[in-house]
Structure 1
Amino acid sequence: MDRKRAMTSVDLAALVGELREYTGAVVDKAYLYGDDFVRLKMRDYDRGRIELVVETGDPKRAHVAVPDHVADAPGRPPNFAMMLRNRIAGANFEGVEQYGFDRILTFRFEREDATTLVVAELFGDGNVAVMNEDREVIDSLDTVRLTARTVAPGSQYGYPDERFSPLDCDGEAFAARMADSDTDLVRTLATQLNFGGLYAEELCTRAGVEKTMDIEEATEEHYEALYGALERLREPILEGRTDPRLYETDDGDVVDATPLPLREHETEGYDATAFESFNGAIDEYFYRLETESETEEQAGAGTDRPDFESEIEKYERIIEQQEGAIESYDEQADEEQRKAESLYGNYDLIDEICSTVRAAREDGVPWAEIEETFEAGAERGIEAAEAVVSVDGAEGTVTVDLGDGPIELDPTVGVERNADRLYTEAKRVRGKKEGAQAAIEDTREDLAAVERRREAWEAEDADEGEDEDDDAETDYLAVSSVPVRYDEKWHERFRWFRTSDGFLVIGGRNADQNEELVKKYMDPSDRFFHAQAHGAPVTILKATEPDEPARDVDIPETSKREAARFAVSYSSVWKDGKFEGDVYEVDADQVSKTPESGEYVEKGSFVIRGDREYYHDVSVGVSVGIKCEPDTRVVGGPPSAIDSVAATSIRIEPGEYAQNDIAKRLYRTFRERFTDTSFVRKVASPDRIQEFCPPGGSRMVDE
């Protein structure tokens, strides 16, 4: 049973028309999960919350999802998500286009200050690129530099060469394309016509021709039959008359979701479920595909240990949702109160509108005529008429806009009663907030209970482990659920690592941090390192911890050499593509901001007085790894200090991949190594990995 892992060109053609129905929706936020899943949270006046998801890894898909099918937002938004929020938060979704017959969708977002295009590439390695209206790339998940096309920040986005489209070809072009082949019918349809294997077989079945017939044996009648089947298949797709189906096995495992019923699936005996929209069918398919895959993985893990992490994650998710609900209650209550105050602030105008409607209704004037009267008045510049947005005769209401959003009025009552209704609604919503706060406390108690059970279980496991084997080590790569233990440290905003002897080394990321490190964190007993190159960071080897009193410590030579390698690796030596450089070491009291007479010291630079101890021809080299004991976090620095403490690590050297691209490659490799891929997503996002990658190009070292 081959399950669909990527949407086809036919799927996207059928989906585009449905996605256009969401035109006018407003973007609230953008999220990035891992390095290949983009979520755009939008809202629509009629539909409410809309979740547009694009996944470019495995699987590859783009559709609107039911909110319950969307995972909770990741904790810290990565750079790509923040960029996307800055570009399209508050923007209107203005439509989507498929590029030819390719698996490429271009989404358009309009805001007063900018037009933004978001391109989803659902082929090959997959990619998402964000562009301005001139198709200049602002950022992309992956950088692509090929002879035929480039997708990189600052460059013009290059679409691939457009493929032949069977959805808009005539009979003559179809026959010519078929004849220009040297294989059988079904393979010709799949490759020359770009239909893919499933739809190529479907056309043959619908046309009643033998799939394996050699192209040289095909006659004009065969071509006419196939083209007729093609027309019958493409017409409902192009006209938006889809009849979607979700296919599953007798065991209930999903196999495919298609915009039209397929005879190929019927002959396989798959059960078919009809859906009102293809978007709904494809969303249900990928949601169940993911759920079933997770169930299979858990079954294969074969562990008797209760899944405390999933239970804890569930309660944490509930708490986050409850907190979000409280925030929304505050916003909703404030909004209702603002509307009420707006009515009072425009008392005479609202009173005029309500009085006009009441008088007209008392005279028997139809609602439609009342609406026409307001429209005519607005054209003449009458202020009260201009404020009216719509008239709903069925509900007996009038909607006005006083400059900051629509307000629904009951014209049968006065301004006070309309405003009082809004104040009452604000009070009711605030009451719901109190109930939600109580519910959070209950959920927190449930969470604490699970955490206590986990601690008891782990304590029991620890006792048993001591009896069996005191030296046993956990293979975290094979563990199905790695517990997350992370407490952010003060030094993590700098570059940092701990030497193989346990000493903390910190380095500046910019001129401001260089200044801060020397002025605030360098003690008299510390050692100062600096690469003999322009643009090198301040590097301080701490003799003692920041919360300890400064004292003279005999720092081992191994730690000093690791600090020197750290200093040269994060300097311009790496950025210039060089593999070694010189580094000097001095005492803390040799570093000063006071220049010689008539000289000037730039920000982030210092004057070094006295003798320096040099480390010549120090090799660059960095390992990036994931540490699992006693805490879980990304670590990076000299390989001799990192490889021994990380559950797994990858060495990098100067190379061709930009800083953000190498971070994504490392992230994917880590996910391949860990059985618990969700653990990697939680503790080692591409953004966190990038913090340990030197500026400039890099590549992974083959081992």
Structure 2
Amino acid sequence: MDRKRAMTSVDLAALVGELREYTGAVVDKAYLYGDGFVRLKMRDYDRGRVELVLEVDDPKRAHVAAPEHVPDAPGRPPNFAMMLRNRIAGANFEGVEQYGFDRILTFRFEREDATTLVVVELFGDGNVAVLNEDREVIDCLETVRLSSRTVAPGSQYGYPEERFSPLGCDYKTFAARMSESDTDLVRTLATQLNFGGLYAEELCTRAGVEKTIDIEEATDDHYEALFGALERLREPILEGRTDPRLYETTEGEVVDATPLPLREHEAEGYDATGFESFNGAIDEYFYRLESEAEESVETGSDRPDFESEIEKYERIIEQQEDAIETYEQQAEREQQKAESLYGNYDLVDEILSTVREAREEGRSWTEIEDTFEAGAERGIGAAEAVVGIDEAEGTVAIDLGDGKIDLDPSVGVEKNADRLYTEAKRVRSKKEGAQAAIEDTREDLEDVRRRREEWTADDEESEEGADRERDYLSMASVPVRYDEKWYERFRWFRTSDGFLVIGGRNADQNEELVTKYLDPSDRFFHTQAHGGPVTILKGTDPGEPARDVDIPEPSKREAARFSVSYSSVWKDGRFEGDAYEVGPDQVSKTPESGEYIEKGSFVIRGDREYYRNVAVGVAVGVKCEPDTRVIGGPPTAIEPVAETAVRIEPGQYAQNDIAKRLYRTLRERFSDTSFVRKIASPDRIQEFCPPGGSRIVDE
């Protein structure tokens, strides 16, 4: 039983017309899960919430999903999702086109400031590319550089060579394509006509011809019968008269979803369920396909799902924080409007008096609006401030430079300002309520974390170390145990002796590390080359008092290698460089007389301990014990504690490209591919990749 894992060209042709029915929907947010699943949350005037899912990894699909079928929002949006939000949040969905008969869809979004095209490639490795109106690539999930086409940020998007479409050909063209083949009928329909295996067999069945007849033996009668079957198949698809079916086995496992009933599936004895729309059928199919896969995983444990609870509370906290920020901004706007009325008291009073007097004289709202427009043309200040009249509400809108303010002309300036002050106060009270709620949620979150720690401690005690013998790569479901640490916003790793090493990502972090985190028991490392990170080898863990510590030599050499690997040495494509080590008291922000120190730079005084010709080298891996997280740094420190790791060296792939390659490599090594997606997204992996080009060692 072959279960569909990618939508076909026929599927997309049938779906495009249905997706266009959502034209006018407004985008709220964009999400990215892993490196191949994009979700666009939209709202439609008639339908309400609309969830457009675009998955280009496995499976490959594009359709509107029922809200209950979409996953919860991920905790931290990756760079691609943030870029997409910035481009299309608030934009109108204006339609979708299929590229020829290819498995490529181009979605169009319009906003006052920009037109954005989202191209979804549902073939090969899959890709999502975001383009501007000139079809220049803004960003993409996968960079493609081939002799025939390029898909890379800053380049013109290159569609592949368009495939022949059997949905628009006439009989003469059809017969000519068929006769060019050197194989049998069904293979010719599948390849030369681009129908694929299932629909090629379906055409033969509907036409009543033997599918294995060799092309050289095929007659005009065979061609005419097949073309007639093709016309009967394509007409309802092109005209939007689909009759969708969801097919499943007698055991209840889904097999396929199709825009029309297929005799091939009926012959297999599959049960068929009809749907009103093909979009509904394909959504139900992929939802059940994923659900059935999850149900087949035997976890072998009654351990509570602490991770889901933690994700839920973290998601609630994020929403509450967004609400607090929104409330404060809204309150500030209302207060500013009120203050602006008092700051322009005479002008506002003139506008209100003019409207009030005109209404008392019996003049219509249209006449009042025309009067203000005429006054604005003559340069009258009060008239220029008026930007609209709302006859239904009986209000006049003005703009004093701080945005539109709706005024009630039946009352004076003071009461209009008081209304705005009252609204600001009301919004601030909502903010206070949200602040109280977020504290409650944080307490709930800490309670779940505490219970997880207790469970883990009891589990470890009862198993007496059995966890260390688990084969995590083969496990069908790997439990996620992850708490974000304060130092993860810096570059970091733990040496082979267990010492924490932290490094700056930029000048601001370099400054912060030295001024806040460099303690007397630490060691300071830096490269001789310009553009290296501040690297601190912590003698004690954060929270421990500083004390004299004898740091082993291997840890120092790993810190030196870390310092060199994340410096301009790697970026320049070199494979070794020099580093030095000093004590904390030798690092100063005080320059010599007449000199100037840039942000992130420091003066080093006294003798230095040099490490010459230090080889660059970074390993990125996944750690499963005692917690689960992606880690990266010198191979001697990473590989012994990682369940699996991959080494990289200076090479040709940019940071985001090598991160995606590492993600795919690591994911393929685990049976539980969803585990890697949860803890080691390409964005998180990229945090451990040195600046500049890289390649996988022995790739």
Q: TM-score when scaled to structure 1?
A: 0.81
Gap change, CA 1:511 and 1:459, over 3 Å in 2: closer
Cα drift, residue 12 of structure 1? 0.5
Partner of 1:148: 148
Match of 1:657, as an amino acid?
Y
State the distance in 2 between where 1:441 and 1:35 align: 34
Cα drift, residue 661 of structure 1? 1.6
State the distance in 1 between where 2:597 and 2:319 align: 49
Partner of 2:676: 680
Superposed, which structure 2 residues align to 1:274-313 within 5 Å?
A: 274-298=274-298, 303=300, 305-309=301-305, 313=308
Cα contact 1:243–1:278 (8 A) shared by 2: yes
Match of 2:463, as an amino acid?
G
State the distance in 2 between where 1:399 and 1:18 align: 41
Cα drift, residue 320 of structure 1? 5.3
State the distance in 2 between where 1:193 and 1:599 align: 74
Partner of 1:370: none
Match of 1:139, as an amino acid?
D
State the distance in 2 between where 1:675 and 1:660 align: 24
State the distance in 2 between where 1:454 and 1:507 align: 31
The SS at the match of 1:297 is: coil
Partner of 1:487: 483
**How many aligned residue pairs are there?**
647
Of the candidates 602, 609, 613, which is equivalent to residue 606 of structure 1?
602
State the distance in 2 between where 1:464 and 1:325 align: 39
Cα contact 1:32–1:38 (8 A) shared by 2: yes
Superposed, which structure 2 residues align to 1:344-423 within 5 Å?
A: none
Gap change, CA 1:198 and 1:78, over 3 Å in 2: same
Larger CA deviation: 270-279 vs 531-540? 531-540
The SS at the match of 2:484 is: coil
Superposed, which structure 2 residues align to 1:1-150 within 5 Å?
A: 1-150=1-150
Cα contact 1:96–1:107 (8 A) shared by 2: yes
The alignment status of 1:561 with 2:557, answered yes or no, reads: yes
Gap change, CA 1:632 and 1:172, over 3 Å in 2: same
State the distance in 2 between where 1:560 and 1:349 align: 78
Partner of 2:192: 192
Partner of 2:511: 515
Cα drift, residue 653 of structure 1? 1.4
Cα drift, residue 554 of structure 1? 2.4
Superposed, which structure 2 residues align to 1:234-273 within 5 Å?
A: 234-273=234-273
State the distance in 2 between where 1:443 and 1:471 align: 30
Partner of 1:395: none
State the distance in 1 between where 2:74 and 2:476 align: 20
State the distance in 1 between where 2:546 and 2:448 align: 43
Cα contact 1:319–1:444 (8 A) shared by 2: no
The SS at the match of 1:84 is: helix
Partner of 1:226: 226
State the distance in 2 between where 1:512 and 1:211 align: 69
Cα drift, residue 110 of structure 1? 0.8
Partner of 2:348: none
State the distance in 2 between where 1:441 and 1:312 align: 19
Larger CA deviation: 64-73 vs 589-598? 589-598
Gaps of 5+ in 1: 357-373, 390-397, 406-422
State the distance in 2 between where 1:451 and 1:598 align: 54
The alignment status of 1:473 with 2:473, answered yes or no, reads: no
Cα contact 1:315–1:444 (8 A) shared by 2: no
The alignment status of 1:639 with 2:635, answered yes or no, reads: yes
Cα drift, residue 592 of structure 1? 3.5
The SS at the match of 2:469 is: coil
Cα contact 1:663–1:693 (8 A) shared by 2: yes
Match of 1:591, as an amino acid?
V
The alignment status of 1:179 with 2:179, answered yes or no, reads: yes
The percentage of counterpart residues that share the same residue type is 75
CA RMSD for the aligned pairs?
4.4
State the distance in 2 between where 1:21 and 1:33 align: 26
Gap change, CA 1:328 and 1:23, over 3 Å in 2: farther
Gap change, CA 1:442 and 1:27, over 3 Å in 2: closer
Gap change, CA 1:93 and 1:402, over 3 Å in 2: farther
Gap change, CA 1:23 and 1:564, over 3 Å in 2: same
Cα drift, residue 87 of structure 1? 0.8
The SS at the match of 2:483 is: coil
Gap change, CA 1:24 and 1:295, over 3 Å in 2: same
Match of 2:645, as an amino acid?
S
CA deviation vs aligned residue, 1:416-459 (integer Å, no higher than 9, x gap) = xxxxxxx9xxx9xx99xx9xx99x999998x9999898777656
State the distance in 2 between where 1:92 and 1:485 align: 40
Q: TM-score when scaled to structure 2?
A: 0.81
State the distance in 1 between where 2:511 and 2:321 align: 42
